Structure 1
Amino acid sequence: MGNVVLVTGVARQLGGRFVRRIQRDPDVDRVIGVDAVVPEHPLGGAEFLRADIRHPAIARVLAETGADTVVHMDVNGTPLGSRGGRSSTSVYGSAPRDPAVFTENTPPKSLPSGGFAKDTVEVEGYVRGFARRRPDVAVCVLRFANVLGPCADSPLAEYFALPVLPTVLGYDPRLQFVHEDDAIDVLRIAAAAPRRGTLNSGTFNIAGDGVLLLSQVSRRLGRPTLPLFLPTVTWAGTVLRSLGITDFSPEQIRMLTHGRVVETTQMRETLGFHPRYTTAETFEEFARSRGPGLLPPESLARTVDRLAGVLSARRAPSQ
């Protein structure tokens, strides 16, 4: 029998795109998509099975399909309304005492207490336990930075779509992004590597080169920021969630306060993946797909630079 690939989370845009792409791999004979809800987008020639991966019956699905490769893209296994498709680098958390750069072996200073990040930590724990029990099975864990692009559908993309971006007063966090096309490509490489004998197991950070400050992001979007004290931002996030505007969760607020940057040497040297898009190029494509903001980016940048110059001049005599 040829290679049979089973993919979870196919009702989400990224999962659907991966299913359509993996079918073009000449080594793949059969693709099965699994999700708790029926996808609204096409899956090409892939088979679809409606199943909840949290239910023990998923073991029977794996046995009956004869899948030899499983690509798990639905970390929390809940319906689309949960908005769960966020960065798995969230396992590192975001805290004031964090290192400048996280490697795959860096323990988080503060473990996530809830939300998607906590789910991801727990899933990785299950995966590590499975890998210890089954050394004959290659297990590859990809920790993605925030995935963005023209088709991005995530709470962070919704935040960037707000006409004015609420930020935490006194903080300008560093952010990393990975383009959705690069996410598809690295998933394909990771799924094929064990079969081709080029990789056994491992955990890899996945992100585009470079970083962007939140202030740079707002200028490139042409959207002004609204600096608020942290308790006010937290209150605003609760209001936005209750109104269904965006999932401005506590973990996202922490990330937009302290930022998060990961090392990607293992991605390049061991996994052999080199992203086509940098962090800045990824965000440029995303911003272009969203159209102009309230203010032209060039005018906003000039205004911010002039304001920074005025503030520096006022501070100079006292220094």
Structure 2
Amino acid sequence: MGNVGKVVLVTGAARLLGGRFVRRVQREPEVERVIAVDVEPPEHDLGDAEFIRADIRQPMIGKVLARRSVDTVVHLDVSGTPLGAGGRGQAKETNVIGTMQLLGACQKAPTVRRLVVKSTTSVYGAAPRDPAVFTETTPVKSLPTGGFAKDAVEVEGYVRGFARRRPDVAVAVLRFANILGPSADTPLAEYFGLPVLPTVFGYDPRLQFAHEDDVIDVLLVAATEARRGTLNSGTFNIAGDGVLLLSQTARRLGKPTVPVLLPAVTWVGRLLRTAGVTDFSAEQIRLLTHGRVVDTREMRETLGFVPTYSTAETFHAFAASRGPGLLPPERMARTVDRLAARVPADRG
């Protein structure tokens, strides 16, 4: 490319995480232009980036890649929550059909040299006989059957196909543990925002978190730094050090838990969706039953990234940003009573 700087295209720019990454990557000295893409115009500032309103499910994305001579694509438009008023169906379409369309466009674009894809550790599922710690190559015993986790499994499959067809492109898939932080808008953040946390009776799962600041930093490493000539190709688990038990998270939030018998959990899922927790799917319930812990050695040794925040520090930053957790005692008592009163009816 001679002296020409990188031309970086970022999908999902209307989301907070996408917007933050767009603003950050344009400060890199070797980056000449940043093209931000989303179906909705962002409500946040994108700095000097060029915003293109485009639906990645449509062929127009191919024209954008070709006309702008894009060499680096950072695909962040893979999410558990729909943008705007769209429902779960729209989120799935954007995740799966949008990724297919984007990869098809990348395949035809000779200028593309690097692809970074946001994925999730949810691809490992969560089951009773899972290994204590998942590595990137652990065979999965129970593939996710629905929700965002199933989308991510499909997305990764298409990305592997693309990598085989375009071996000249460096492809990095980043599997993030649950992302938390002051501006996190994930389903798990919504769950922790509830006044009382429903838990599965008899289980206290181990959880890992990735701080949103570390997410931006590791995306930057994957998109801009060539290490040891490998251009950071591969699949990488991304999480803060250590684990927290669900009971510890509740204590740190200052919130009570209501243990629910496993057969009643589907009812709790319905209750949470009514309360506005968008993607409290079967996958979320399995995570809050069995937990999930991943090995991050590849992240450190191959990608060369060391997170600033541990899992506990990430959760502390999230909890501190939410203010005091406790409801007034009388409202708390009423909420607990109402939840507890419903549980026995669902035991059968």
CA contact (8 A) 1:145 1:206 kept: yes
Correspondent of 1:256 among 288, 306, 311 = 288
CA contact (8 A) 2:187 2:277 kept: no
Partner of 1:149: 181
CA distance in 2, matches of 1:147, 1:17: 14
Partner of 1:63: 66
Superposed CA offset, 1:205-263 (max 9, x none): 00000000000000000000000012322212113214534432211111111101000
Task: Give the structure-2-normalised TM-score.
Answer: 0.81
Distance 1:136 1:49, change over 3 A: same
Deviating more after overlay: 104-113 vs 73-82? 73-82
Partner of 1:95: 127
Deviating more after overlay: 25-34 vs 193-202? 193-202
Correspondent of 1:160 among 192, 195, 204 = 192
Superposed CA offset, 1:52-82 (max 9, x none): 1122222122111211000000115953455
Q: Which amino acid aligns with 2:238?
A: I
CA distance in 1, matches of 2:119, 2:132: 18
| SS of 2:306 mapped into structure 1 | coil
Distance 1:271 1:42, change over 3 A: same
Q: Which amino acid aligns with 1:158?
A: E
Correspondent of 2:83 among 79, 89, 99 = 79
Which residues of structure 2 form unaligned runs of 5+?
A: 96-117, 329-348
CA contact (8 A) 1:142 1:206 kept: yes
Partner of 1:10: 13
| SS of 2:240 mapped into structure 1 | coil
CA distance in 1, matches of 2:164, 2:230: 20
Superposed CA offset, 1:28-54 (max 9, x none): 010011111111111111111111112
Correspondent of 2:165 among 123, 126, 133 = 133
| SS of 2:235 mapped into structure 1 | strand
Q: Which amino acid aligns with 1:240?
A: L
| SS of 2:137 mapped into structure 1 | coil
| SS of 2:237 mapped into structure 1 | strand
CA distance in 1, matches of 2:292, 2:325: 25
RMSD: 2.1
CA contact (8 A) 2:119 2:174 kept: no
CA contact (8 A) 1:91 1:121 kept: yes
Report the Cα offset of residue 87 of structure 1: 6.5
Superposed CA offset, 1:125-148 (max 9, x none): 111001001111100100000111
Which residues of structure 1 form unaligned runs of 5+?
A: 297-319
| SS of 1:139 mapped into structure 2 | strand
Partner of 2:108: none
CA distance in 2, matches of 1:251, 1:39: 29
Partner of 2:236: 204
Partner of 1:235: 267
Partner of 1:184: 216
Partner of 1:316: none
Partner of 1:294: 326
